[in-house]
Amino acid sequence: MGSLASERTVVGWAARDASGHLSPYTYTVRKTGPEDVVVKVLYCGICHTDIHQAKNELGASKYPMVPGHEVVGEVVEVGPEVTKYRAGDVVGVGVIVGCCRECRPCKANVEQYCNKRIWSYNDVYTDGRPTQGGFSSTMVVDQKFVVKVPAGLAPEQAAPLLCAGLTVYSPLKHFGLMAPGLRGGILGLGGVGHMGVKVAKSMGHHVTVISSSGKKRAEAMEHLGADAYLVSSDADQMATAADSLDYIIDTIPVHHPLEPYLALLKLDGKHILMGVIGQPLSFVTPMVMLGRKSITGSFIGSIDETEEVLQFCVDKGLTSQIEVVKMDYVNQALERLERNDVRYRFVVDVAGSNIEDAA
């Protein structure tokens, strides 16, 4: 693995261009700094953002790019100033790996809103080196951006919680939507949406899954435990459900109308956007004015909230529903994710894929 004084050569699966196709790629990571944690990657979840980035759908991709920001691994080495972690710990690394530590969001411990945040991949670290993600054998990460995976949570189960689980937990906490008895809607039943159902139900909410057709009704209600299922293309159902929800968690990652869903909100209801969409969304202002409704957004969560959601899931007995695949299946997995053909999150068994042998 090298020593504190040397760089490491690692292997990841990288996109080389906007085709988004991933293949083995050998590169170096920085030598271990005083506050760095060296993580041997065990598992990495696949997020829809990985498709956006690998295919340059947001217009800012740099290649070669190793995606992956739902990373769970084992600590193999720490810098001399690392206090929270030691070799053998199972830890998680999420969407960001750096921030300025001086701005208002950083000082408020919501570093995900720092304007100088450093993404875990497709970014440039403070030393000028490209950041590369968790579809790789090893990552070197500042201890601030590492969280311990609590006992009682399997590492492959923890991976999707670092993005999908956190993304729904953070706004429910921030907007004061954790009290039992609230009525929530989950729009989109993918990786984030299925965790939305589970987290909201565990908080004691009445949960309605909203989908464009009835084909996911059984899985939403029988498998995930939703209380109701609403077909958005059915005008009668939508009219009956008007003014019934305290909030909607909107996980749809593609362009879609807002007005049909705004009509479902009660007075002071909140429509919380979570999907990364590169096109403008629109609505007529009376849809929010005549109900003092809010359209807002939320982005992942803080490091503190990451630790909270992992423990919350242990305490509540929550798990994500995953399909574990090997790295040589990752391109097929990305294609299936694009077709929404996964229930509900792919997790790559990185350590079990022997990717260093493929380079």
Q: SS3 sequence, 226-268?
A: CCEEEECCCHHHHHHCCCCEEEEEECCCCCCCCHHHHCCEEEE
Q: What sections of the chain are H helices per DSSP?
A: 48-54, 104-107, 155-160, 166-174, 191-202, 217-218, 235-240, 259-262, 286-289, 303-316, 330-338
Torsion angles phi and psi, residue 273, rounded to 5:
-85, 135
Looking at the 3D structure of the chain, how many domains does it have?
2
Q: 245 and 137 in one domain?
A: no
Q: 173 and 70 in one domain?
A: no
Instruction: Identify whether 313 is part of a domain.
Output: no
Question: How, if at all, do strands 322-325 and 345-349 pair?
Answer: parallel
Torsion angles phi and psi, residue 311, rounded to 5:
-70, -40
**pLDDT tens-digit profile, the chain (359 residues):** 444 557 899 999 999 999 999 999 999 999 999 999 999 999 999 998 999 999 999 899 999 999 999 999 999 999 999 999 999 999 999 999 999 999 999 999 999 999 999 999 999 999 999 999 999 999 999 999 999 999 999 999 999 999 999 999 999 999 999 999 999 999 999 889 999 999 999 999 999 999 999 999 999 999 999 999 999 999 999 999 999 999 999 999 889 999 999 999 999 999 999 988 889 999 999 999 999 999 999 999 999 999 999 999 999 999 889 999 999 999 999 999 999 899 899 999 999 998 988 65
Torsion angles phi and psi, residue 63, rounded to 5:
-120, 155
Residues 128-150 as b/e (b if ≥16 CB within 10 A, e otherwise) read eeebbbbbbbbbbbbbbbbbebe
Q: 107 and 58 in one domain?
A: yes
Q: 178 and 142 in one domain?
A: no
Q: 233 and 182 in one domain?
A: yes
Q: 284 and 178 in one domain?
A: yes
Instruction: Identify whether 187 is part of a domain.
Output: yes
User: Are the C-beta atoms of 45 and 163 separated by less than 8 Å?
Assistant: yes
238 is written with which tokens? 């939508």
Instruction: Identify whether 1 is part of a domain.
Output: no
Instruction: Identify whether 98 is part of a domain.
Output: yes
User: Are the C-beta atoms of 254 and 340 separated by less than 8 Å?
Assistant: no
User: Are the C-beta atoms of 58 and 276 separated by less than 8 Å?
Assistant: yes
Q: Which domain covers residue 38, as residue numbers?
A: 8-163+321-357
Going 209 to 211 to 213 to 215, the CA torsion angle's sign is negative
CA distance 260 to 212: 11
Contacts of 40 (CB under 8 A, 6+ apart): 73, 74, 75, 76, 137, 138, 351
User: Are the C-beta atoms of 264 and 243 separated by less than 8 Å?
Assistant: yes
Q: 183 and 139 in one domain?
A: no
Give this prediction's pTM: 0.93
Whichever domain contains 150, its CATH number is 3.90.180.10
